[in-house]
Amino acid sequence: MPPTAGTDPLVGLTLDGRYRLDAHLAHGGMASVYSAHDLRLDRAVAVKILHPHLGQDAAFAARFIAEAKQAARINHPNVVAVHDQGMDSGRAFIVMELVRGHSVRALLRSVGRLSAQQALALLAPVSAGLAAAHLAGVVHRDIKPENILISEDGRVKVTDFGLARAADDAGPGLTGVGALAGTAGYISPEYVEGQPTDQRSDVYALGIVLFELLTGKVPYTGDNPVQVALAHSRGRVPMPSSSQSDVPPEVDSLVLRATAPDPADRHPDAGAVHGDIRAIRAHLPAPEPLPRPRPGAEDRTPDPGSATHVHPTATRVMPASTVRPGRAGRQRREPKRPTRLRRRLLGALLTAALAGAGVYAWQTFSPVPVPDVRGATAQSATQTLRAAGFTNVRIARDYSADVRADAVIDTAPAAGERRSRSASITVLVSRGAQRTSVPRLTGLTVPQARSQLTARGLLTQAKPAVFDERVPAGSVISSTPGQGARVDVGSTVTVVVSKGPAPVKVADVRRQDAGAAASLLTASGLKVSRATAFSDTVPAGRVIATKPAAGAQMPRGSTVSLVVSRGPKRVEVPNLRMVAERKAVATLRGLGLKVRVVYPAGRNFNKVVGQSVKAGTKVPRGTLITLTVV
């Protein structure tokens, strides 16, 4: 049973003269976690201590510490930071960031299951943090709800990289002869079968966690951890919608791809999972906020010793195989002493057996070149490799735009490399070009369209923008190929972008009737305002000019001002009687009037004695006024 805060003898202990253990937080299958205080830096931390029966194994403890160092390489806001590691009185421990909050396990115990939107919102930061680990070359190997924490302010963090290993580590790690270390409910098929594991094993566990978030249960349970683990290697995870009808099809597809039995069919790493989650969330409604777990939900730990049911979320070191005992009770007879002839026969048989074993060993372990089977079918490649003596041939599949479906892309090891006949040869077979459909892009901005296409593995090319009367400027008018077309992943979709409505040329309506001019401009897509002005040349009611001038290009819907003539400006004729001729002429001309002078009796006084238009009369400018001068 896990220790309690009141009975745990380690509470109050100071590790390495620095970390004072204040309270017991959790008890797992491999270690216990305590809240502690870093006396040197005066800060709260979490300390994880390996269980004594595992810490006594020097190799296991050394691996535990080495993997803590690998986890410390990860720097991401969604990963619990590892600060330190060490040994104290035979106790291997890791010092981590202390997250005050609750685990996703506690959340599930309270609410049962989450909506698809909530589940994806929760897994988005998890996949982002795990992607950072994969980028750093670290595989977690124990992703499960217990190892996903939600802080009091809502931040999501991945913790417990205690089973992690470097992705390129060729050593045995925690998977040794006769043992599997991990959590049965989330363990990948290749791990169960003793095959090499990499980032795709974490992807499988992420898929199982998503299944559990959506349905409230893991896909496989059993009476012991080996039974649960074997179920992963023999079955196919069902669609979540088979038990929860509200799960969208695209979320079903995400779970099925992440939990594909063959690692080659899964996402290559957590970064690819994160990309799919973002793409799916873009098409779903915003999620409701995650609820808080009810008090006490975090404390309900499954009984690791239950004889009737083994909880699939407990981290265990599980037996991978058992030794079948011989039959008991059979009497053994005392062998007779061999005669000389019998000894010779036995010697000959032994010599022959050793010779045969030597031939077998030479045939099995002598290195030979790997045949070049690129381009061959999977069946033909397998036959060729087996004919060359390679018996351990594994088929993996991946998409390829360059190699036809069911043809071999490459082998690992590569053709020509020398390997023993007992070596494992992986044949990578093409699925053909991966296909996807072109989404609806009309009306989207170019960044929005590019985001949609990138999420489907497609490239974007924009043609020069063109005018369009209906689509706003900067938005997509159409695409080639069009919406719904099936295309190869990696191909390019060309989009036509709108410059908005074409500009309108201002028509030349000068001297036209003002009403007719306004109708013409309105019909061309422009609005019209009016202004008036006097004109000596343009009759009243007709257009003098437009602002802007005729020929200007204007956006559709812009306003053009019509300047309409009021006719010539009228001036008042002054009283010029007895005014000197020169002054009278200058006055009339200054008013814009024309002048004619007559002299009926000569020019004796040079004064105006008469005018053809009565003083005070208003006349248009340019009117002829006759002056009589004597």
Q: Which helix (H) or strand (E) holds 267?
A: none
Out of 84, 142, 269, 276, pick the active-site residue: 142
3-state secondary structure 40-71: CCCEEEEEEEECHHHHCCHHHHHHHHHHHHHH
The whole-angstrom separation of Cα 201 and Cα 159 is 17
Q: With contact defined as beta carbons under 8 Å apart, do 575 and 605 qualify?
A: no
- For 216: left if phi > 0, alpha if psi spans -120 to 50, otherwise beta; the answer is left
E strands in 237-370: 315-319, 367-369
The whole-angstrom separation of Cα 209 and Cα 212 is 5
Q: With contact defined as beta carbons under 8 Å apart, do 240 and 217 qualify?
A: no
CB count in 10 Å sphere of residue 479: 23
The whole-angstrom separation of Cα 63 and Cα 161 is 12
Give the amino acid at 564.
V
The whole-angstrom separation of Cα 369 and Cα 500 is 64
- Of 251, 225, 219, the C-alpha closest to 237 is 219
Rounded to whole angstroms, what are the CA distances from 277 to 73, 417, 435, 437, 499? Answer: 25, 40, 19, 18, 33
22 is an active site residue: no
Q: With contact defined as beta carbons under 8 Å apart, do 587 and 540 qualify?
A: no
Q: DSSP per residue over 168-234, as a string?
A: T--S-TT-BTTEEEEEGGG--HHHHTT----HHHHHHHHHHHHHHHHHSS-S--BSSHHHHHHHHHH
Question: Pairing state of beta strands 559-565 and 527-533?
Answer: parallel
Q: Which two tokens stand for residue 501?
A: 């409505």
Angle, helices 249-258/270-281, rounded to nearest 10 degrees = 180
What are the catalytic residues? 142
